[in-house]
Amino acid sequence: MRYYADVTMTTRWLTEEEQRTWRLFLQACQSVFAATDAQLARDSGLPHGYYEILVHLSEAPNRALRMTQLARASTYSKSRLSHAVARLEERSWVQRRDCETDRRGQIAQLTDEGFAALAAAAPGHVDQVRRSLMDVLTPDQVEQLGEISAAIIAAAACPAEECHEADNF
Amino acid sequence: MRYYADVTMTTRWLTEEEQRTWRLFLQACQSVFAATDAQLARDSGLPHGYYEILVHLSEAPNRALRMTQLARASTYSKSRLSHAVARLEERSWVQRRDCETDRRGQIAQLTDEGFAALAAAAPGHVDQVRRSLMDVLTPDQVEQLGEISAAIIAAAACPAEECHEADNF
DNA sequence: AGAGGTTGGTTGAATAATCAACGAGTATCA
DNA sequence: TGATACTCGTTGATTATTCAACCAACCTCT
């Protein structure tokens, strides 16, 4: 039997090569993310994607972003972001402010404390990214990976598919 | 300010190129997994990694595996797998049996019903993998991605790092 | 002005993942 | 035999994520 059970006959199955690649890709991603998540959790008590949120805020003008923009930047759903920011607010790493020009709006603002936490977490994180990814690949491969990633993102961005999943985006 | 806040001076920061690649990689992974997860959830009500568990069981001799082996194959922690199998058991897709040779052991066995569910889910899933990944890349890129993934996995497997995270592995 | 629709964001319940602790079985070695 | 240590797998509490429902503010068009 093949990797994927065959039922309809009309499906275009994956070739051996594609199958192999898909599995390797899955495993590689898991290994990279497991390592970086573990490192962040260990060294900064930062749960998974929260670091990304802080990074995006730290780069925004004034270290502040509207919730929706922040969600888009972090590829978080609005709901997920709302919960996440609530936790970050409990730790005083982020503060919510009302938006002046749109009274529905909320602005997430990175606090000094939050910035300090991020600054403390960054070196270890970068180090882990090196160990898990960059130092493991040749410069050519890094370039290839960039191009491959860009192609994937581009394909996902448009393709007349349902981009309108209820809450997300 | 750079992407990652600079505090220690001793850190080897990412180059522009590496930074760009890292972010693209993150986003590409999110986009692929978001798409495949959404597809599986929509078409089969299968939460995230559960499909993988069923796949691994379906390929095992006798469609059965010891919990620990299954955990390793799916890169699940023992705890996570235990919970997951409990849910799959509620849906009668998997059954637990005692191991004859080791009385501590449990064997997860894919039921016919579970196999049918997997067979029903597979075509849509494969299709999504094509749309999100394979059809988006050139054959060369598919090959490159395979090699890159293999390098990442190999590096994570050995490197004298702490492979002994409490519960995992 | 106001009806209808859209967007921004939150909430709470349900589900999933992580973490720490545990009991039962096995292995090793005295 | 028994002491010690380790492996197998589960459990319950905590935390994170998803999902559906919702309110309030804005936008458009008449």
- By the 8 A CB rule, do A74 and A137 touch? no
Q: Are A105 and A119 in contact (CB under 8 A)?
A: no
Q: How many whole angstroms separate alpha carbon A54 and alpha carbon A111?
A: 10
Looking at residue A7, its pLDDT comes to: 47
Burial A39-58 (b: 16+ CB within 10 A, else e): bbeeebebeebbbbbbbbbb
Separation CA A113–CA A23 (nearest Å):
41
Q: Any idea how long chain A is?
A: 169
A3, A28, A144 member nearest B153 (Cβ): A28
Q: Report which of residues B10 and A54 the model is more confident about.
A: A54
Q: How far apart are CA B91 and CA B113, in angstroms?
A: 9
Distance B102 CA to D2 C1' (A): 22
The burial class, CB within 10 Å (0-12 / 13-18 / 19+), for A112 is exposed
- Provide, as residue numbers in chain B, all residues whose Cβ is less than 8 Å from the Cβ of A25: 133, 145-146, 149
Q: What is the predicted pLDDT for the residue at A59? A: 96
CA–C1' gap, B104 and C28, in angstroms? 18
Closest CA to B85 of B66, B112, B62, B59: B66
DSSP annotation of B167 reads T
CA closest to A20 among chain B residues: B146
| Cβ-contact B98, B106 below 8 angstroms | yes
Helix (H, G, I), strand (E, B), or coil: what is residue A133?
A: coil
Q: Which of B5, B59, B159 is nearest residue A122 as measured by Cβ atoms?
A: B5
Among chain B residues, the shortest Cα distance to A35 is held by B156
- Residue A9 has what pLDDT? 53
Best of A153, A158, A169 to substitute, by most chain B Cβ atoms within 10 angstroms, is A153
Please give the Cα distance from A63 to A61 (Å, whole number).
5
Higher pLDDT, A48 or A139: A139
CB contact under 8 A, A115 and B35: no
Digit-coded pLDDT (tens) for A77-91: 999 999 999 999 999
Identify the H or E element spanning A65.
strand A64-66
Asked if residue A160 has pLDDT above 60, the reply is no
A94-118 pLDDT per residue, tens: 999 999 999 999 999 999 999 999 9
Residues with CB under 7 A from strand C: A 41, 66-69, 71, 78-79, 81-83, 85-86, 96, 99, 102, 104-107, 167; B 47-49, 76-77, 79-80, 83-84, 87, 102-104, 166-167
Chain D positions within 7 A of any protein Cβ atom are: 7-12, 15-21, 24-26
* 3-class state of residue B96 by DSSP: strand
Task: Write the burial class of residue A126 (CB in 10 Å: 0-12 exposed, 13-18 middle, 19+ buried).
Answer: buried
pTM score: 0.88
Residues of A in contact with B150 (CB under 8 A): 24, 28
Measured CA to CA, the distance from residue A112 to residue A122 in angstroms comes to 15
Question: Mean pLDDT of all residues in chain B?
Answer: 88
- Give the pLDDT score at B127: 92
DSSP state of A111: -
pLDDT tens profile B144-153 = 999 999 999 9
The CA distance from A52 to A69, in Å, is: 13
Half-sphere exposure of A103 (CA within 13 A, CB side): 0
- Residue lying closest to nucleotide C21, CA to C1': B167
Q: What parts of chain B have a pLDDT lower than 70?
A: 1-10, 158-169
- List the B37 CA – C14 C1' distance (angstroms): 18
Q: How far apart are CA B128 and CA A94, in angstroms?
A: 37
Which nucleotide has the least CA–C1' distance to A105?
Answer: C8
Q: Among the listed ranges A6-20, A40-54, B80-94, B110-124, which one has the minimum average pLDDT value?
A: A6-20
Q: What is the mean pLDDT of residues A28-49?
A: 89
Q: What is the DSSP letter of A19?
A: H
Write down the pLDDT at residue B49.
86
B54 contacts in chain A (CB < 8 Å): none
Please state the rounded mean pLDDT for residues A63-85: 97
Q: Estimate the crossing angle of helix A112-132 against helix B139-157, to 10 degrees.
A: 100
The integer distance in angstroms from the CA atom of A92 to the C1' atom of D15 is: 18
Q: Which residue would you say has higher pLDDT here, A70 or B167?
A: A70
pLDDT above 90 coverage of chain A, percent: 75
Q: Give backbone dihedrals phi and psi of A165, rounded to 5 degrees, phi first.
A: -55, 90
Q: What is the pLDDT of residues A119-137, one digit of tens each?
A: 999 999 999 999 999 999 9
Helices (H) and strands (E) in chain B, counts: 6, 3
Residue of chain A whose alpha carbon sits nearest to that of B155: A136
